[in-house]
């Protein structure tokens, strides 16, 4: 069973521990432009949303990549990136509708989530469980259950 | 350099000159960053007798070595200047993203000198630094200022700014960043206003390097685990915020009520953290790199006090609440939101209103003075109304904007002001909690709890439990907490990190980050060095041992009711032992020997 990085914006406190962990795991330093996960915060409303590549089944980035630098190994779910075959055309950054493939001028490469090889640092460091690495067919279970509990409450009250 | 960015940025607003200097590795090793490095850069260059609101005063913004790393809750920056409220060195720090961003832009400190001839803001994008016109922003409140500056610079820029209170030099005006985070105390916002500096916007893309990545991550994970397992750091603060302290302090009989006339507030629960979470909390919020999330995103739906924003913290809830005899959480929350939006310290503000109410009930301040406003204790409309008036310096707000000491003095009764060195004492009655009284009396920035938070041991039992009513051992703990806090502040850490982590953890992280070996003793010694540097500045500014005291009400009027009934503060008895432990003479002056030990002489 494949795992997916599930985002729970309702739990996010906007602390950016995920971005820091991502930078550190990939580069051993804290460089804000090195992160593969981004947190957007709306300060007036006090709301934050982490964003990262969701490894689309039908991935636009892969489709437009002329060299196969973005590819998927047979039988896996991860969209992998090969720096060696990338020509830096940035087509993937245009094609991804979520903005989750980013060109980094410092390393001259595309930055996208690689799930840290199956043990994502962002998940480990999130203090609020706003990011979870879970089996994809139960990824929405907790959310569904929260909503289901509203039915429970409604019927109990009736 | 590792941990430090290696560069200090200097902007002279009088001449428009922008310059850079290298961070001196020896100074950085001794004073760390943030509060320590800021203190050093500030005190080296500014005459302690300077008028805080004159162009000759500097203001320094400094992140710490931890700021921008994932050291737990370590993303703070410190503002250092001479405070207009106290005339002492003012250091206020804030979380949020501004400090880390300044560090990413490549700067260990930003020194602002002089005064611009017209309103300006600073736009810093890594090496590019611009002084831009801010005439169109003058008068704008904090949220609008933040949005407008972002529109003109970068949508994701981190912005620190002042609101109308800073512009009008309210003596307890704050500097606000990320809209809701405040470098709150001592009037640092008024200093920014005096320089015609409306805002600073930063985007940084550089990196903070770590010497020993494996040890650093190990130390960070260890610290995170300790915090998670701690009842306060791990669960308490996220569930209820700092306002959970209302009921705790009230039950121990040390919740100052009605301008410290009493220390027990019968309906305190209505303004406590449990009520806050049940009624106005939208969600908890964390500062940059925070694992605690004590921040409160709040919304008031009651049309009379409607608003959305953040807070209140415990101290704000106390100042507007119990200290003014008010148990209306909606009004307290709204007043606190106004403080954020106008850029003011809710502790000094609420306590100044409490003082005015006390004077009014005593018949000293009259309806004529207040412009017809009934200043009796307990009216929730008063705090909302006066907060606006103070922020805009309208009517009686113009006088209240000077703080309770100047306000009460102008009516001939300074003894009604519950201040130390003219700064309002916060939310812990020093008669009921002896150690915190000694902290208030000796704190370098005037009446303040956070620079030596003995409440941890005296009330919360972390890491050990001491009897709050006794004086034994308190000078020792006050000194220890002051030194440790100075070192944590100088690292860019949040003191709430000590609800789980100890000096050992901080020293371990700093060592792995910077490559300079800090034992726990070295770390505490850095804090002691910083404390003494601040003390020397204050002595040269004209303060003496006579200023290390509390208002007479605390020393002579016993608590009237509640669990701490009959208690007074014993600061005068504790002070000699405190001086001795500090290596200061009987007049509170550091001895040459101690200064040499601390490499300050």
Q: What is the pLDDT along chain A (158 residues), one digit of tens a residue?
A: 689 999 999 999 999 999 999 999 999 999 999 999 999 999 999 999 999 999 999 999 999 999 999 999 999 999 999 999 999 999 999 999 999 999 999 999 999 999 999 999 999 999 999 999 998 888 788 788 888 888 888 888 76
Give, to the nearest 10 degrees, the angle between helix B474-491 and helix B571-582. Answer: 60
Helix, coil or strand: residue B3:
coil
Residue reference for tokens 């909503």: A147
DSSP labels, B32-91: -SHHHHHHHHHHHHS-TT--TTSTT--EEEEE-TTBTB-STT---EEEEEE-TTTSSEEE
Phi, psi for residue B360 in degrees, rounded to 5: -70, -45
Inter-chain contact B293–A46, Cβ cutoff 8 Å? no
Interface contact A127, partner B, CB < 8 A: yes
| ipTM of the complex, rounded to two decimals | 0.96
Of the candidates B186, B135, B191, the residue with the CA atom closest to the CA atom of residue B160: B191
> Which one is the CATH code of B242-424: 1.10.569.10, 2.60.40.680, 3.20.20.70, 1.20.1250.20?
1.10.569.10
At residue A1, the pLDDT reads 62
Kindly list the residues from chain B whose CB atom is less than 8 angstroms away from the CB atom of residue A37: none
Give the nearest chain B residue to A18 (CA atoms): B289
Instruction: Give the separation between CA B70 and CA B221, rounded to whole angstroms.
Output: 10
Of B70, B180, B207, which is closest to A17 when you measure between CB atoms? B70
Of B207, B209, B285, which is closest to A14 when you measure between CB atoms? B285
Kindly list the residues from chain B whose CB atom is less than 8 angstroms away from the CB atom of residue A102: none
At residue B444, the pLDDT reads 98
Kindly list the residues from chain A whose CB atom is less than 8 angstroms away from the CB atom of residue B309: 46
Give the nearest chain A residue to B142 (CA atoms): A44
Give the nearest chain B residue to A48 (CA atoms): B285
Domains identified in chain A and CATH numbers: 3-157 (3.30.70.20)
Inter-chain contact B310–A46, Cβ cutoff 8 Å? yes
> Torsion angle, CA of B438/B518/B81/B164, rounded to 10 degrees?
-90
Instruction: Give the separation between CA A113 and CA A23, rounded to whole angstroms.
Output: 11
Instruction: Give the separation between CA B385 and CA B364, rounded to whole angstroms.
Output: 21
Of B143, B224, B285, which is closest to A13 when you measure between CB atoms? B285
Mean pLDDT score across all residues of chain B: 97
Inter-chain contact A17–B209, Cβ cutoff 8 Å? no
User: Computed from CA positions of residues B440, B444, B446, B449, in that sequence, does the dihedral angle turn out positive or negative?
Assistant: negative
Kindly list the residues from chain A whose CB atom is less than 8 angstroms away from the CB atom of residue B282: 46
B414 prior amide bond cis, ω within 30:
no
Q: Decide if pLDDT at B259 tops 90.
A: yes
Inter-chain contact A46–B283, Cβ cutoff 8 Å? yes
Q: Decide if pLDDT at B272 tops 70.
A: yes
Other CB atoms within 10 A of residue B15 CB: 9
Pairing of strands B89-94, B77-82: antiparallel
Of the candidates B485, B451, B491, B449, the residue with the CA atom closest to the CA atom of residue B75: B491
What would the pLDDT profile of B492-523 be if each residue is shown by its tens digit? Answer: 999 999 999 999 999 999 999 999 999 999 99
Kindly list the residues from chain A whose CB atom is less than 8 angstroms away from the CB atom of residue B293: 13, 15, 127-128
Helix, coil or strand: residue B345:
coil
Helix, coil or strand: residue B118:
coil
Of A13, A31, A48, which is closest to B207 when you measure between CB atoms? A31
Interface contact A64, partner B, CB < 8 A: no
CATH 1.10.599.10 residue ranges in chain B? 434-499+519-597
Residue reference for tokens 């009655």: B429
What would the pLDDT profile of B429-446 be if each residue is shown by its tens digit? Answer: 999 999 999 999 999 999
What residues have CB less than 8 Å from B382, skipping those under 6 apart? B324, B353, B357, B373, B374, B375
Q: Residue B157 — pLDDT band, cuts 50, 70, 90?
A: very high
Across the A:B interface, residue pairs with CB atoms under 8 Å apart total 90
% pLDDT > 90, chain B: 100
Inter-chain contact B288–A15, Cβ cutoff 8 Å? yes
At residue B536, the pLDDT reads 98
Kindly list the residues from chain A whose CB atom is less than 8 angstroms away from the CB atom of residue B287: 15
Give the nearest chain B residue to A17 (CA atoms): B289
Instruction: Give the separation between CA B434 and CA B110, rounded to whole angstroms.
Output: 38
Mean pLDDT over residues B335-350, rounded?
A: 98
Please enumerate residues of B whose Cβ is less than 8 A from a Cβ of A.
68-70, 97, 101, 104, 143, 146, 178-180, 204-210, 213, 217, 224, 228, 282-293, 295, 297, 308-310
CATH 1.10.569.10 residue ranges in chain B? 242-424
Give the residue from B286, B337, B340 with the most A CB atoms within 10 Å of its CB, the best one to mutate.
B286
At residue A154, the pLDDT reads 86
What would the pLDDT profile of B31-84 be if each residue is shown by its tens digit? Answer: 999 999 999 999 999 999 999 999 999 999 999 999 999 999 999 999 999 999
DSSP labels, B396-444: THHHHTT-HHHHHHHTT-GGG--EETTEE--SS-TTTSHHHHHHHHH-T
Other CB atoms within 10 A of residue B354 CB: 31
Residue B204, min C-alpha distance to chain A (Å): 8
CATH number of B7-203: 3.60.9.10
Instruction: Report whether CATH 1.10.599.10 matches the domain B434-499+519-597.
Output: yes
Helix, coil or strand: residue B266:
coil
Inter-chain contact A20–B289, Cβ cutoff 8 Å? yes
Kindly list the residues from chain A whose CB atom is less than 8 angstroms away from the CB atom of residue B209: 29
Beta bridge partners of A40: A49
| Residue B507 tokens, joined | 């020293």
Mean pLDDT over residues B97-110, rounded?
A: 98
| Residue B162 tokens, joined | 């002042």
What would the pLDDT profile of B549-563 be if each residue is shown by its tens digit? Answer: 999 999 999 999 999
**Helical H runs in B79-187?**
98-104, 142-152, 164-167
Give the nearest chain B residue to A9 (CA atoms): B283
Helix, coil or strand: residue A88:
coil
Instruction: Give the separation between CA A72 and CA B562, rounded to whole angstroms.
Output: 70
Of the candidates B358, B381, B172, the residue with the CA atom closest to the CA atom of residue B256: B358
Inter-chain contact B207–A44, Cβ cutoff 8 Å? no
Residue B400, min C-alpha distance to chain A (Å): 29
Strand order in the sheet with B128-133: B128-133, B120-125, B197-203, B158-161, B175-177, B181-183
Give the nearest chain B residue to A26 (CA atoms): B213
Instruction: Give the separation between CA B280 and CA B272, rounded to whole angstroms.
Output: 11
% pLDDT > 70, chain B: 100
What residues have CB less than 8 Å from B60, skipping those under 6 apart? B38, B41, B42, B79, B80, B81, B109, B110, B111, B112
At residue A139, the pLDDT reads 77
Burial class of residue A156 in the structure, from the number of CB atoms within 10 Å of its CB (0-12 exposed, 13-18 middle, 19+ buried): exposed
Give the nearest chain B residue to A14 (CA atoms): B286
Of B178, B213, B284, which is closest to A28 when you measure between CB atoms? B213
Inter-chain contact B143–A43, Cβ cutoff 8 Å? yes
CATH 3.60.9.10 residue ranges in chain B? 7-203
Give the nearest chain A residue to B288 (CA atoms): A15
Instruction: Give the separation between CA B151 and CA B123, rounded to whole angstroms.
Output: 12
Helix/strand/coil percent split, chain B, to 5: 45, 15, 40
Mean pLDDT over residues B5-16, rounded?
A: 98
Kindly list the residues from chain B whose CB atom is less than 8 angstroms away from the CB atom of residue A24: 70, 210, 213, 217
Inter-chain contact A43–B295, Cβ cutoff 8 Å? no
DSSP labels, A62-80: HHH-SSSSEE--TT----E
Kindly list the residues from chain B whose CB atom is less than 8 angstroms away from the CB atom of residue A27: 207
Of B104, B224, B282, which is closest to A32 when you measure between CB atoms? B104
Interface contact A14, partner B, CB < 8 A: yes
> Torsion angle, CA of B538/B543/B548/B553, rounded to 10 degrees?
-130
At residue A158, the pLDDT reads 62
Residue A75, min C-alpha distance to chain B (Å): 34
* pTM value surpassing 0.95: yes
Kindly list the residues from chain A whose CB atom is less than 8 angstroms away from the CB atom of residue B288: 15-16
Half-sphere exposure of B553 (CA within 13 A, CB side): 23
Instruction: Give the separation between CA B101 and CA B5, rounded to whole angstroms.
Output: 12
What would the pLDDT profile of B109-124 be if each residue is shown by its tens digit? Answer: 999 999 999 999 999 9
At residue B512, the pLDDT reads 98
Interface contact A43, partner B, CB < 8 A: yes
Interface contact A27, partner B, CB < 8 A: yes
Of the candidates B113, B196, B187, B200, the residue with the CA atom closest to the CA atom of residue B343: B187
């Amino acid at each position: 069973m494949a795992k997916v990085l599930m985002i729970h914006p309702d739990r996010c406190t906007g602390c950016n521990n995920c971005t820091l962990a991502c930078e550190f795991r990939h580069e051993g330093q804290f460089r804000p432009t090195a992160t593969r996960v981004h947190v957007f915060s709306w300060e007036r409303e006090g709301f934050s949303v982490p964003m990262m590549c969701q490894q689309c089944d039908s991935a636009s980035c892969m489709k437009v990549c002329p060299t196969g630098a973005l590819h998927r190994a047979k039988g896996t779910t991860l969209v992998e990136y090969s720096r060696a075959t990338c020509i830096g055309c940035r087509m993937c950054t245009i094609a991804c509708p979520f903005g989750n493939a980013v060109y980094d001028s410092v390393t001259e490469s595309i930055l996208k989530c690689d799930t840290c090889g199956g043990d994502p640092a962002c998940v480990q460091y999130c203090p609020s469980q706003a990011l979870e690495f879970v089996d994809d067919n139960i990824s929405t279970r907790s959310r569904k259950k929260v909503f289901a509990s509203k039915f429970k409450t409604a019927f109990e009250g009736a | 350099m590792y941990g430090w960015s290696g560069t200090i940025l200097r902007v002279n607003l009088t001449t428009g000159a922008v310059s850079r200097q290298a961070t001196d590795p020896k100074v950085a090793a001794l004073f760390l960053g943030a509060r320590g490095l800021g203190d050093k850069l500030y005190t080296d260059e500014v005459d302690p007798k300077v008028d805080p609101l004159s162009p000759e005063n500097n203001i320094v913004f400094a992140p710490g070595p931890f700021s921008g790393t994932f050291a737990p809750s370590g993303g703070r920056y410190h503002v250092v200047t001479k405070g207009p409220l106290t005339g002492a060195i003012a250091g206020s720090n804030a979380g949020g993203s501004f400090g880390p961003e300044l560090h990413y832009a490549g700067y260990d400190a930003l020194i602002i000198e002089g005064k611009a001839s017209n309103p300006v803001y600073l736009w810093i994008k890594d090496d590019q630094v611009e002084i831009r016109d801010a005439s169109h922003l003058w008068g704008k409140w904090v949220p609008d200022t933040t949005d407008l500056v972002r529109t003109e610079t970068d949508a994701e820029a981190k912005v620190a700014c002042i609101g109308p209170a800073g512009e009008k030099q309210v003596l307890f005006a704050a500097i606000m960043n990320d809209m809701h985070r405040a470098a709150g105390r001592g009037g640092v916002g008024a200093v920014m206003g005096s320089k015609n500096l409306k805002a600073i916007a930063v985007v940084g893309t550089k990196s903070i390097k770590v010497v020993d990545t494996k040890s650093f991550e190990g130390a960070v994970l260890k610290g995170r685990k300790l915090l998670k397992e701690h009842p306060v750091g791990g669960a308490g603060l996220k569930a209820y915020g700092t306002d959970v302290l209302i009921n705790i302090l009230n039950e121990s009989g040390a919740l100052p009520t009605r301008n410290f006339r009493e220390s027990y507030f019968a309906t305190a629960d209505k303004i406590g953290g449990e009520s806050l979470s049940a009624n106005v909390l939208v969600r908890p919020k964390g500062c940059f790199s925070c694992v605690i999330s004590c921040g409160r995103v709040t919304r008031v739906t009651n049309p009379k006090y409607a608003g959305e924003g953040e807070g209140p913290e415990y101290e704000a809830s106390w100042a507007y609440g119990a200290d003014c005899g008010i148990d209306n959480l909606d009004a307290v929350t709204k007043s606190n939101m106004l403080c954020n939006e106008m850029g003011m310290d809710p502790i000094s503000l609420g306590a100044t209103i409490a003082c005015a109410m006390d004077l009014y009930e005593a018949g000293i301040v009259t309806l004529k003075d207040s412009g017809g406003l009934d200043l009796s204790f307990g009216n929730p409309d008063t705090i909302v109304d006066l907060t606006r008036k103070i922020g805009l310096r309208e009517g009686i707000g113009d006088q209240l904007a000077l703080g309770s000491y100047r306000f009460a003095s102008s009516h001939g009764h300074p003894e009604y002001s519950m201040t130390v060195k003219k700064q309002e004492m916060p939310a812990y009655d020093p008669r009921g909690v002896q150690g915190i009284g000694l902290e208030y009396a000796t704190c370098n920035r005037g009446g303040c709890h956070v620079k030596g938070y003995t409440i941890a041991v005296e009330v919360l039992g972390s890491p050990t439990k001491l009897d709050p009513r006794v004086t034994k051992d308190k000078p020792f703990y006050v000194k220890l907490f002051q030194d440790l806090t100075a070192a944590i502040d100088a690292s860019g850490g949040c003191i709430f990190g000590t609800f789980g982590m100890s000096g050992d953890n901080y020293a371990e992280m700093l060592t792995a980050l910077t490559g300079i070996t800090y034992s726990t003793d070295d770390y505490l010694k850095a804090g002691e060095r910083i404390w003494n540097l601040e003390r020397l500045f204050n002595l040269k500014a004209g303060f003496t041992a006579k200023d290390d005291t509390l208002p007479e009400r605390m020393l002579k009027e016993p608590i009237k009711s509640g669990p701490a009934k009959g208690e007074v503060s014993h600061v005068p008895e504790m002070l000699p032992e405190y001086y001795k432990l500090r290596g200061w003479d009987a007049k509170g002056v550091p001895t040459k020997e101690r200064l040499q030990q601390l490499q300050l002489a």
